[in-house]
């Protein structure tokens, strides 16, 4: 009886781990896509609205889902505070803080940080170039992420279940 309960627990845990891992593979391309949409909106705010960065980021962030929403709003709040010295510092801080909660990888982060380094520091045409560059970079990452998702999502799920089954068999 106790053995059965233990086996069930191991099975459940293994399956959950597998599904969680698979969910990360599924979430990454989705978040990258959302980030690209967000940058597109930022592009519009910069080129047509000429909205100052704190407001632009807040406006873009308001329309996003968590955790990206938190990242944009945090950067906007820090810039509006006028305590932090540069836009880059505010942006980097926000990205670093929220990053562990996202499913994205180092390559995606690098694109964002590089964008942050030039954010607000040049005229409109140049800003748009930087935003577009980050978008292109993210699009490439997105393709890779989708490929990974296709390859590994199902595998993770089955691996979780099968791994758990193996442990149960060994224990019996």
**To 10 degrees, what angle do helices 106-118 and 87-98 make?**
160
Residues contacting other proteins: total by CB under 8 A: 22
Output the smallest distance, CB 120 to other proteins, in A: 4
124 binds other proteins (CB under 8 A): yes
Pick from 29, 120, 157, 168: which binds other proteins (CB under 8 A)? 120
Compare residues 122 and 158 and give the one whose CB is closer to other proteins: 122
Please state the separation of Cα 19 from the chain's center in Å: 19
119 binds other proteins (CB under 8 A): yes
Tell me how far CA of residue 119 lies from CA of 4, 33, 140, 155, in angstroms. Answer: 58, 20, 21, 40
Output the smallest distance, CB 87 to other proteins, in A: 4
DSSP line for 89-127: HHHHHHHHHHGGGSS--HHHHHHHHHHHHHTTSS-HHHH
134 binds other proteins (CB under 8 A): no
Q: Which of residues 89-108 bind other proteins (CB under 8 A)?
A: 90
Output the smallest distance, CB 119 to other proteins, in A: 7
Q: Which of residues 40-99 bind other proteins (CB under 8 A)?
A: 46, 50-54, 56, 79, 82-83, 85-87, 90
Compare residues 18 and 116 and give the one whose CB is closer to other proteins: 116
Pick from 117, 121, 136, 166: which binds other proteins (CB under 8 A)? 121
**Peptide bond before residue 36 is cis, with ω within 30 degrees of 0:** no
- Rounded Cα gap, residues 33 and 155, in angstroms: 23
Please state the separation of Cα 25 from the chain's center in Å: 11
Pick from 3, 6, 12, 122: which binds other proteins (CB under 8 A)? 122
- Rounded Cα gap, residues 110 and 64, in angstroms: 20
* Site residues for other proteins per CB under 8 A: 46, 50-54, 56, 79, 82-83, 85-87, 90, 119-124, 126-127
């Amino acid at each position: 009886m106790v053995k059965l309960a233990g086996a069930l627990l191991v099975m459940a845990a293994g399956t959950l781990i597998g599904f969680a891992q698979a969910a990360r593979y599924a979430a990454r391309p989705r978040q990258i896509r959302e980030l690209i949409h967000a940058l597109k909106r930022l592009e519009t705010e910069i080129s047509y609205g000429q909205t100052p960065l704190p407001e632009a980021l807040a406006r873009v962030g308001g329309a996003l889902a968590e955790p990206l929403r938190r990242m944009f709003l945090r950067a906007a709040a820090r810039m509006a505070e006028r305590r932090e010295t540069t836009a880059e510092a505010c942006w980097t801080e926000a990205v670093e803080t929220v990053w562990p909660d996202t499913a994205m990888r180092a390559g995606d982060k690098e694109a964002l940080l590089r964008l942050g380094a030039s954010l607000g520091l040049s005229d409109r045409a140049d800003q748009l170039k930087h935003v577009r560059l980050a978008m292109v970079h993210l699009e490439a990452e997105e393709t890779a992420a989708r490929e990974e998702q296709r390859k590994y999502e199902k595998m993770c799920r089955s691996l979780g279940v099968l791994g758990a089954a193996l442990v149960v068999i060994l224990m019996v």
